[in-house]
Amino acid sequence: MDDLASRATLLVASYGAWAGPVIALLSFGESLAVIGVLIPATAVMIAIGGLIGAGTLDPVPVYIWAAVGAILGDWLSYLIGRRIGPSVYRRWPLNRHRSMVARTRLFFRKYGFLSIFFGRFLGPVRATIPLVAGVMNMAPKPFQIANLLSALLWVPLMFAPGYLAGSSLGPSVAITEWHLIAFGAGIMVLTFAATFITSKILGDPRMRARRRAQRMNRQA
């Protein structure tokens, strides 16, 4: 995956005209149900943010391509869920992660519209929430509103660490693999924060109930 990300970044750096289509495909794939975890879009988006910050790429078309890819990825996941229905949970690979799917469904039932919006920022559920929304027949209009708004915010957030690093380097400095490592450090904090928040929100409800019962027993 790291090699694929490096190759994609070098392609964009060498042929700037390909930046938009490449990032659109990557953001589309990362937002797509099931296969999203296999697409190294985050690393490439950080690197492209660095190229934007260094003045190598025009930010407006790249931003538009990335947002469109992310919107279409969630939309297709939603349509797959509506088309296949609950039987999708019994198919590979979701049938191997039943507890995660169950917690995602509870998350959706509890937060509805907000789960679609914030789910894009929570890596572990990003590619699953739209699918669940489709299976549970969420109305198309509120889904698309949450999909659109979250994508418009998610894209600059992914670009931000690389952009800030690239801006500090300046346009005369070439982006190298070492710079990519530096850009990646910026996103690590966001990743750990998102994982921590997700674990708190999607934690097993039985474990939470057990902890509450233990606290009540100690207080008694």
Backbone φ and ψ for 33, nearest 5 degrees, come out as -55, 140
Kindly tell me the burial class for residue 19, based on how many C-beta atoms sit within 10 Å of its own C-beta (0-12, 13-18, 19 or more): buried
Domain parsing of the chain, residue ranges: 2-219
pTM of the model: 0.74
Is the confidence at residue 190, as pLDDT, over 70?
A: no
The predicted-structure confidence for 58-91, as pLDDT tens digits, reads as follows 889 999 999 999 999 999 999 999 999 998 888 8
With b meaning 16 or more CB within 10 Å and e meaning fewer, what string describes 29-67?
Answer: bbbbbbebeebbbbbbbbbbbbbbbbebbebeebbebbb
**Least confidently predicted of 66-75, 102-111, 127-136, 178-187:** 178-187
pLDDT of residue 138 exceeding 90 = yes
pLDDT for the residue 123: 67
The whole-number average pLDDT for the span 140-159 is 93
